[in-house]
């Protein structure tokens, strides 16, 4: 189902955060740790079931889909990190990997998986919230979650923002070592 005509266009005050980043001046000094992890987003598609989108680490660092280590502007980092934390307060969907499913007229939609530590700054269990078929402007759910019929606003905004972490992504050209280090701290989830 397409988005209803009354739906406002997608927007966020943090939109284009990726364009405001800069390459980390000394990427070899950055080591991803579970304690510094703010959130990570993995992407599963039929072509790339083990895909990766972006992770945020304190202080103000992002690792994008190409494995580039980026400095994120403080306002963007704080705002996007706060959105990720807000997802911990959403109801559980009762579906595998806590998946919110967007209504589409075709199958085999990508699944984006958000992983957020339950206790920030510590090695704690990762809370998982997934969205299947995310597309800016589409919010109607295939099946309601309780009495919720549209993707919650926090997920709509956050998943639109994290998609920027795939800017310039070219499969086969990514820094697989950096991405593997990030995935390793996720504990095989």
Structural domain contains residue 55: yes
Structural domain contains residue 116: yes
pLDDT of residue 102: 96
Q: Which residue range is the domain that position 79 belongs to?
A: 17-185
Please check the confidence at residue 138 and state whether its pLDDT lies above 50: yes
pLDDT of residue 8: 55
Q: Where are the beta strands (DSSP E) in 24-147?
A: 37-44, 51-57, 61-63, 69-71, 99-101, 111-117, 126-132, 140-145
Structural domain contains residue 165: yes
Structural domain contains residue 2: no
Residue pair 74/98 in contact (Cβ under 8 Å)? The answer is no
Structural domain contains residue 11: no
Average pLDDT over residues 119-138: 88
More confident residue, 21 or 124: 21
- Dihedral of the alpha carbons of 10, 149, 110, 92, in degrees to the nearest 10: 110
pLDDT of residue 1: 36
| Owner of token pair 């639109």 | 160
- Counting the structural domains of the chain, the total is 1
How confident is the model over 36-90, as pLDDT tens digits? Answer: 999 999 999 988 999 999 999 999 999 999 999 999 999 999 999 999 999 999 9
Structural domain contains residue 7: no
Structural domain contains residue 8: no
Structural domain contains residue 6: no
pLDDT of residue 122: 74
Alpha helices, DSSP H, located in 91-152:
none
Average pLDDT over residues 158-179: 95
* Distinct helix (H) and strand (E) counts, the chain: 3, 10
pLDDT of residue 6: 44
């Amino acid at each position: 189902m397409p988005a209803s005509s009354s739906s406002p266009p997608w927007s966020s005050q943090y939109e284009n955060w990726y364009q405001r980043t800069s390459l980390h001046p000394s990427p070899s000094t950055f080591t991803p740790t579970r304690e510094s992890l703010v959130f990570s987003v993995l992407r599963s598609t039929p072509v790339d079931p083990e895909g990766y989108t972006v992770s945020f680490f304190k202080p103000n660092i992002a690792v994008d889909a190409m494995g580039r280590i980026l400095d994120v502007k403080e306002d963007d980092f704080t705002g996007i990190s706060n959105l990720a934390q807000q997802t911990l307060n959403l109801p559980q969907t009762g579906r595998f990997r806590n998946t919110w499913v967007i209504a589409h007229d075709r199958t085999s939609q990508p699944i984006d998986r958000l992983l957020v530590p339950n206790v920030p700054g510590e090695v704690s269990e990762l809370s998982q919230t997934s969205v299947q078929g995310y597309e800016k402007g589409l919010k109607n759910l295939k099946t309601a979650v309780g009495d919720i019929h549209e993707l919650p606003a926090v997920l709509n905004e956050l998943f639109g923002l994290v998609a920027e972490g795939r800017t310039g992504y070219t499969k086969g050209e990514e820094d697989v070592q950096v991405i593997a280090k990030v995935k390793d701290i996720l504990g095989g989830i």
